[in-house]
Amino acid sequence: MHIVKEINIVLRAMRHLESADKRDSTVERIAALIDWPVEDVRRTLSFNEHIASLDAPLDIDPNHTIAEVIADDGSGDPESLLQSSEVGSLVDDWLAQLSERQRSVLERRYGLNRADVETLDVIAHDLGLTRERVRQIQMEGLDRLRKIIKRGNISRDSLL
């Protein structure tokens, strides 16, 4: 709040000088009027620079829309986002039906639930198992997921 007060003092002095002299006020003249050091006035004026919101329209070119100026290629249309969210929710439900070890292996192998994608060797080392045993757990988990999906009567087309 004190910065806002300082900005108001400087701006009031600036307006006073401009209205009295009918010419642009300088930082030195403002500092002399309010009895502040010149550097303090410069610093305070720098706080008053225009800050634009990312949501505010830009005054770039009236012939271009914001979408043309700043394209967000990373986001999809709302329908795709909703479908992706629904599929993610289904995958979470399916994974919850697996054993803890199967779920852990599949999440780490395929990068599910924000896990990093890892090799069989890394997972085997972390779990104290052989690479082959981790591969078997992975295959068991995938087989179980297939059965869960089949039992839920969900087709590949509806997922993709």
Residues 80, 35: Cα–Cα separation, whole Å = 61
Residue recorded with tokens 């069989």: 120
Q: Is the pTM of this model over 0.85?
A: no
Where do the H-state alpha helices sit in the chain? 2-21, 27-34, 38-47, 66-69, 78-96, 100-110, 120-127, 131-151, 156-159
**What are the pLDDT tens digits along the chain (160 aa)?**
678 888 888 888 888 888 887 667 788 988 988 999 999 988 888 887 766 666 666 555 555 555 555 555 666 666 666 666 777 788 888 889 999 999 999 999 988 888 899 999 999 999 999 999 999 999 999 999 888 888 877 766 666 5
- For the record, the structure tokens of 118 come out as 């890892």
For residue 84, the model assigns a pLDDT of 65
